[in-house]
Amino acid sequence: MLNWLESRTGFVTLAKEFLTEDVPGGASYWYVFGSATLFAMILQIVTGIFLTFFYAPSASTAWESTRAIYLNPWTHALLSIHYWGASAMIALVFLHLMQVLIWGAYKAPRELQWIVGVLLLLVTLVLGLTGYLLPWDMDAYFASQVSLNIAGLPPGGAILQLIAQGGPVMGTNTINRFFGLHVWLMPAALVLLVGAHLAIFRHNGSAGPVVDDPRKLKPGRFWPDQMFMDGAASFFVFVIILALATFAPPYLDQKADPTNAAFQPYPAWYFLFLFGLLNFVPWLFSQIPGLASQANTPWVEMLAAIVVPTIGLLIVLLLPWLDRSTTRSFASRSKILWTTFFVVVAIVALSIYAQTGIQAKEAAGPPSLPQDQVLAAAPAEAAPASAAAPAAGNGASVFAQNCQTCHGQNGQGQPGVAPPLAGNPFVTGDPKAVINVVENGLHGETIMGQSYGAPMPAWKGTLSKSDLAAVITYIRGGLGSNKASAITASQIK
Amino acid sequence: MSKHAAETGAPNGGVRKIYSAYDDPGTPEEISRRSFMANATLAIGGLVGLGLAIPIVGSLIPEGASSKGTWAPLTADELASLQAATSKPVKLEFQLKSKDSYLPEQSSGEYVWGIKTDKQKFISDRTDLPKSGTLPYSDGTYDVVTMNFVIFSPICPHLGCRPVWNDSATRFQCPCHGSQFDFNGEHVAGPAPRGLDPLPFKEQSGVANIMWIRYESGVPDRVIISYTS
């Protein structure tokens, strides 16, 4: 079977060539981070592809189809894996980057592999950002609103924001564009960049451990020795993701409501440090005498949101040229190692600072609904407007033609002439009594402590049974805040 | 790994790279350990694949298909045109309320064919329908002929196209594959496996109502696949 395939395609040789590789110093669990990241990427692609079978990107279906995904246990499992898979992928990319940084593996001749790797980190972050919007719930809306407005801050950013949003404000076009970015453009870029990353890796070989003379290292085998460790690490990651997906599934909030001023958005954990920076820099300015007046100006905000992160990114990108020494030994690289350490501490500190600030604001705000209540109340189903519309519409026209002269357009009544129908407990009470009055008329009764001059005519014979049913349904359920049951023609004698 | 594998590798600046780690086949213990690692790696791959395949396959199986029956009312004009009809089928248009997955309930236009007929004659003409003249549905049993009317689904029992009434041929003709049905909906030509499908029809509170049913296409028996849409 394999021989048959090999003689016609050469695939077996291709696979062997792909798996045959020297591992300097032998296989090690220190080398699993790149492979585990690749595994997380494959996991995201597989679960993501099948989530597109159920998700529909538009303002009127994004939240609704996401709700349906939550309600089906299988799609909910796929979504939960995708949600935690995203976090795992970003965490692994970060660990992978840290290791390369600490080991000095970005040095010549691997500068371009480092650049491609940093681009992969950026693409991964864009995937996280665009995916965050797609459920179109409260947090998706407001968190994306904040990031889009930040994108609009720098010169030329307004156009970028307009293009990303697909219009002057966020809406259905934004969902469509983020969807296109999230499921097509960014994954395609990711796969191409991973291909380049691996090709460059194979060209230069593994950097190996930090030793005085790399030539003395005894080579180990990639297949199966290193591959087994990569597989074990990936399986460990998979089990962690499954456990988180099972015991801490993501939360779908109520559908995006742009008018909800009380909502406190929070970013994904991997953007918390940027959020923290956005709050920290103005605070820092306010503490410095002479600069305090500048604390809340747009240029300080731009400094925090755009300038500092961009400089940080450029430093990371250009690291192979900023650190030109050829040695990889830890002792001679103490400056860069300490800088790395302090930057990581700063990122963690800013994240904690942001998180505590958000928690304080959330504690002060209204609590979010329990998940089962959010999922139970589908707005479209809670108010079956389309279902009741034909009957109610007919009832409204019957009311307009026959009733509103005395009872008022909105059923508010006329003092001394005819009683109000909106908010009238008799109207929303026993249907038989209401039918009786509409059919047979009424005069001289005191209603809710008031007397009225105009007599209620008897409508039996004037209006058809179906018109009577429609108009009674309308006055019981369509006027003011009246919410009583509908009447059918069969209830009319 | 074989000697062959050791001599292959990624090209490096046009020179074939030799991976020395594969030169030494290793001790018998190493060979046995590598065989275990290879199998374990494949097993891990299979396990992860299975773990993903279960929710994927589960999610692709649609949830419960049909819901309860709903009756769509005809207007008085439509009932009158049906009552006036004699030798020609009448196209009855109505609004069908349907719920499509997570979308809100929607009202959309739909139509059926109605014919005026005599109950005994129709039952003896349409040999493919039950002799009793009644059709079983999930929520009850209805007569094929109600108030001397028969309502036909507009959907061809062959593969789901929509036959149209041809006055000169006095037949329903399906534009897709040429199935033909006579005035009574009986299959007379073409590939359809059965005649046109009757729909339940009833009068309720002075309103004529039709129940919209989808039958499985392409099979001789009438298998109900959905009630509402």
Interface probe, candidates B3, B8, B44, chain A, greatest A C-beta count within 10 A: B44
Q: State mean pLDDT over A162-167.
A: 94
Tell me whether residues B102 and A384 touch, CB distance under 8 A: no
For A78, the closest chain B residue by CA position comes to: B55
The pLDDT value recorded for residue B138 is 61
Q: Which of residues 26-65 of B touch A (CB under 8 A)?
A: 34, 37-38, 40-41, 44-45, 47-48, 51-52, 55-56, 58-60, 63
Half-sphere exposure of residue B185: CA atoms within 13 angstroms, side-chain side? 33
State the pLDDT confidence band at A147, using cuts at 50, 70 and 90.
Answer: very high
Half-sphere exposure of residue A197: CA atoms within 13 angstroms, side-chain side? 22
**Token pair for residue A164?**
């990303």
The pLDDT value recorded for residue B7 is 41
The pLDDT value recorded for residue A392 is 44
Find the angle CA(B104)-CA(B108)-CA(B110) to the nearest 5 degrees. 145
Chain B CB contacts of A202 below 8 Å: 10
For B14, the closest chain A residue by CA position comes to: A203
Provide, rounded to the nearest whole percent, the portion of chain B with pLDDT above 90: 40
The pLDDT value recorded for residue A387 is 38
State the pLDDT confidence band at A89, using cuts at 50, 70 and 90.
Answer: very high
Tell me whether residues A235 and B63 touch, CB distance under 8 A: no
Chain B CB contacts of A234 below 8 Å: 44, 48
State the pLDDT confidence band at A377, using cuts at 50, 70 and 90.
Answer: low
Can you tell me the distance from the alpha carbon of A122 to that of A329, in angstroms, rounded to the nearest whole number? 29
Looking at the partner chain, which of A202, A221, A232 has a beta carbon nearest the beta carbon of B22? A221
B228 pLDDT more than 70: no
A182 vs A407: which has the higher pLDDT: A182
Q: How far is A445 from chain B (nearest CA, A)?
A: 33
pLDDT in tens, A419-478: 888 878 888 888 888 888 888 888 777 777 777 777 787 877 777 777 888 788 888 877
- Could you tell me which residues come within 8 angstroms of residue B32 by beta carbon, excluding any fewer than 6 positions away? none
For A233, the closest chain B residue by CA position comes to: B44
Chain B CB contacts of A58 below 8 Å: none
Reported ipTM? 0.77
Tell me whether residues A225 and B37 touch, CB distance under 8 A: yes
pTM above 0.95, yes or no: no
Chain B CB contacts of A42 below 8 Å: none
Chain A CB contacts of B47 below 8 Å: 235
The pLDDT value recorded for residue B64 is 61
Interface probe, candidates A45, A235, A493, chain B, greatest B C-beta count within 10 A: A235
B17 vs A320: which has the higher pLDDT: A320
The pLDDT value recorded for residue B16 is 52
A167 pLDDT more than 60: yes
The pLDDT value recorded for residue B140 is 67
State the pLDDT confidence band at A293, using cuts at 50, 70 and 90.
Answer: confident
A178 pLDDT more than 90: yes
Looking at the partner chain, which of A13, A68, A227 has a beta carbon nearest the beta carbon of B8? A13
Can you tell me the distance from the alpha carbon of B1 to that of B25, in angstroms, rounded to the nearest whole number? 7
Whether A224 contacts chain B with CB within 8 A = yes
For A201, the closest chain B residue by CA position comes to: B10
Q: State mean pLDDT over A168-180.
A: 96
pLDDT in tens, A199-242: 999 999 888 888 888 888 888 999 999 999 999 999 999 999 99
Q: State mean pLDDT over A286-306.
A: 89
Whether A68 contacts chain B with CB within 8 A = yes
Across A94-108, B136-150, B158-172, least confident range: B136-150
| Identity at B87, one-letter amino acid code | S
Q: Which of residues 139-158 of B touch A (CB under 8 A)?
A: none
B66 pLDDT more than 80: no
Can you tell me the distance from the alpha carbon of B124 to that of B121, in angstroms, rounded to the nearest whole number? 5
CB atoms inside a 10 Å sphere around CB A216:
8
Interface probe, candidates B15, B32, B33, B37, chain A, greatest A C-beta count within 10 A: B37
Q: How far is A188 from chain B (nearest CA, A)?
A: 22
**Token pair for residue A329?**
């030994």
| Cβ–Cβ < 8 Å for A116, A192 | no
Whether B95 contacts chain A with CB within 8 A = yes
The helix/strand/coil state of A85 is helix
* Three-state secondary structure of A170-224: CCHHHHHHHHHHHHHHHHHHHHHHHHHHHHHHHHHCCCCCCCCCHHHCCCEEHHH
Can you tell me the distance from the alpha carbon of A367 to that of A482, in angstroms, rounded to the nearest whole number? 29
Interface probe, candidates B19, B102, B108, B207, chain A, greatest A C-beta count within 10 A: B102
pLDDT in tens, B210-219: 888 888 899 9
Can you tell me the distance from the alpha carbon of A31 to that of B169, in angstroms, rounded to the nearest whole number? 79
pLDDT in tens, B95-140: 887 777 888 878 888 899 999 888 888 888 888 887 777 876 766 6
Q: State mean pLDDT over B160-167.
A: 94
What is the rounded end-to-end Cα distance, in angstroms, of chain A? 82
Chain B CB contacts of A378 below 8 Å: 102
| Identity at B37, one-letter amino acid code | M
Q: State mean pLDDT over A87-98.
A: 97
Q: How far is A16 from chain B (nearest CA, A)?
A: 6
Q: Which of residues 361-390 of A touch B (CB under 8 A)?
A: 378, 380-381, 384, 386-387, 389-390
Q: How far is A235 from chain B (nearest CA, A)?
A: 7
Q: State mean pLDDT over B23-50.
A: 94
**Token pair for residue B10?**
């990624």
B15 pLDDT more than 50: no
* Three-state secondary structure of A339-370: HHHHHHHHHHHHHHHHHHHHHHHHHHCCCCCC
Tell me whether residues B102 and A61 touch, CB distance under 8 A: yes
Can you tell me the distance from the alpha carbon of B58 to that of A73, in angstroms, rounded to the nearest whole number? 9
Q: Which of residues 168-227 of B touch A (CB under 8 A)?
A: 204-207
Q: How far is B142 from chain A (nearest CA, A)?
A: 21
